[in-house]
A and B are shown apart, each in its own frame.
Chain A
Amino acid sequence: MYAQMIESEVECEDPQKLKEFQNRIDAGDKIEPQDWMPNGYRKTLIRQIGQHAHSEIVGQLPEGNWITRAPTLERKAILLAKVQDEAGHGLYLYCAAETLGVSRDELTEMLLDERMKYSSIFNYPTLTWADMGAIGWLVDGAAIMNQVPLQRTSYGPYARAMIRICKEESFHQRQGFDIMIKMAKGSAEQKHMAQDALNRFWYPALMMFGPSDTDSVHSVQSMAWKIKMNTNDELRQKFVDQTAPQADLLGLTIPDANLEWDEHKGGYNFTEPDWSEFYAVINGNGPCNVERLAARKKAWEDGQWVRDGLLANAEKHAAKIPVAAE
């Protein structure tokens, strides 16, 4: 449906302008907010950047779940700083989306009434401290795979946001791996927690790249526009190739009996995630969808009086200034 909409919108645009636009992208130019752009480009970017921003914000919740239970003062500080970084990522991305003519409040409303989505991974529960390690290692790791190429995306404000974000994501991944090392080399219980976390997060992490999109019209257009830089399958393969040796290093077992190095293709063979589970989670039926959305709604609704109060105060002061100047 969506791909069709994009296609038909592209058809409505002035062919000459479209051609010039494509030439700029092919030449590696950055598109800036004041530049002409096709409607489909704008809409696809709003959807993509908005979903990414929402994922950062909802993504605060599963890890926020362990801040008050972190085992040491240092771990507590590192985790709190990490989750704060994610809020910062959300902020950069909402700002990038705003340059396309949609406000942060509008995007938030769309998240809360489920017109917009966020990454399926954040609908899984965090059950032990090892999950803080697994999320940093696998989820931030997969996010980096997705985001590093987007530093070269054609839309200037998005590319610049990605550069800032990627720097912090690689810290997150190292910190997560550090927790995994501690757990995997720790007591029998800690090792158990580490393996259990890997068992639960492995396939959801693979799902983060999305289903195979080699044949999707939408993806072809996005790749031509350099909004998308690689196919989902390419990125997933890269992620598995990077992560499998790390699991060996930790002495943990990836929960896939078919995982094996393929000399011929120069990468690992692996089992695809269960895509029916992915669609169930995306459509609202994952283990934590209800809680995640409820938490965001509560924060938004409970915060209304605060936002109103601060705004009213700012308006009072703005109103006073001319009087004082008289």
Chain B
Amino acid sequence: MAQEPAYFEFLCRMGDNALVLGHRLSEWCGHAPALEEDIALANTGLDLIGEAQLWLGLASDVEDRGRTADDLAMGRDVWDFRNHLLTEQPNGDFGQTMMRQYLFDAWHVCLLDALCDSSQAHTAEIAAKTVKEARYHLTRSRSIVIGLGDGTSESHRRMQTALDRLFPYVGEFFETDSIDRAMTASRIAPDPNSLKDPYLETIRSTFLDATLCVPEQEFYLSGGKTGRQHSEHLGHLLTQMQWLQRAYPEASW
């Protein structure tokens, strides 16, 4: 198949988003503001790590060079990661974590919905399985964003700060490059830009309910999904995540 290297790249993008965000959420375990939130964050993290296993497992099949999903997760360096910059941003306070989650979930659901009709059966299967989880994540992150946005003056202030801090990373979701064009041409995945309007409509209505102002800006930061330029944060995340595998490369766990 001519599109194989592009397909592999696309699957890494899907897998790395889930992996990196799932890892970030797992950092919260034991430290959340209430037991219910601790459990819910772990739950979302678990779903995302499970999703990463599926996408990276498929990527490994497509690549067919003997690298497993674990090899991809634990053996690649920063420049080979294909997650969006948003997902690697630090947790910050609980508000920043939930704002990052909401901005991601709203996009994730749009994309997975479209991927259910993918021309590639394996991709359509994974999308059909994970979109249910993603919808649940979205319901939850949306209600927290609204609850804290329209809560006390302090919670409102913190949520607005989180939105202002993270909004510049949203633009990367809709950026189209040669990989995306190959995926669109072979009807494996939708054109990223086609998700932009429904996405913006969804988040605007949520932020209205949350009494938060969507920043008016055209500029955005990108470089994660192409691997051109990640933020400084990803390297530290990988330092932890990959340490054991790198320290004892011969061992099996």
| Chain A interfacial positions (CB closer than 8 Å to B) | 57, 60-61, 64, 67-77, 80-81, 83-84, 87-88, 90-91, 94, 104, 129, 182, 186-187, 189-190, 295, 298-299, 302-314, 316
Contact = CB atoms under 8 A, between A and B. Distances in A.
B35 interface: yes
Given A84-B29, A84-B43, A187-B251, A73 B70 contact: yes
B30 A72 contact: no
Contacts of A69: 240-241, 243-244
Contacts of A72: 70, 74, 245, 253
B153 to A, nearest CB: 9
Contacts of B27: 67-68
A285 B95 CA distance: 35
Given A77-B49, A187-B251, A71 B74 contact: yes
Q: By DSSP majority rule, is chain B's interface helix, strand, loop, or mixed?
A: helix
B39 interface: yes
Contacts of A299: 30-33
A67 B43 CA distance: 14
A87 B70 contact: no
Contacts, number: 147
A305 to B, nearest CB: 5
B73 A80 contact: no
Contact of B147 (A60, A77, A189, A314): A314
B152 A305 contact: yes
B141 to A, nearest CB: 13
B193 to A, nearest CB: 31
Given A69-B240, A72-B253, A129-B253, A308 B46 contact: no
A313 B151 contact: yes
Contacts of A73: 19, 49, 52-53, 56, 69-70, 73
A80 B148 contact: no
B34 interface: yes
A187 B148 contact: no
B50 A77 contact: yes
Interface in B209-253: 240-241, 243-245, 248, 250-253
Given A182-B253, A186-B252, A83 B30 contact: yes
28 contacts: A60-B29, A61-B30, A68-B23, A68-B240, A72-B245, A72-B253, A73-B69, A73-B73, A81-B46, A84-B46, A87-B35, A87-B39, A91-B39, A104-B35, A189-B248, A299-B31, A299-B32, A299-B33, A302-B33, A302-B94, A305-B154, A305-B155, A306-B94, A309-B155, A310-B144, A311-B151, A312-B151, A313-B147
Interface of B: 19, 23, 26-27, 29-39, 42-43, 45-46, 49-50, 52-53, 56, 69-70, 73-74, 93-95, 144, 146-148, 150-152, 154-156, 158, 240-241, 243-245, 248, 250-253
A309 B151 contact: yes
Contact of A310 (B30, B32, B42, B151): B151
Nearest to A88: B39
A80 B23 CA distance: 10
Contacts of B39: 84, 87-88, 91
Report which residue of B19, B148, B245 has the largest number of chain A beta carbons within 10 angstroms of its beta carbon.
B148
B251 A313 contact: no
A80 B49 contact: yes
Contacts of B156: 309
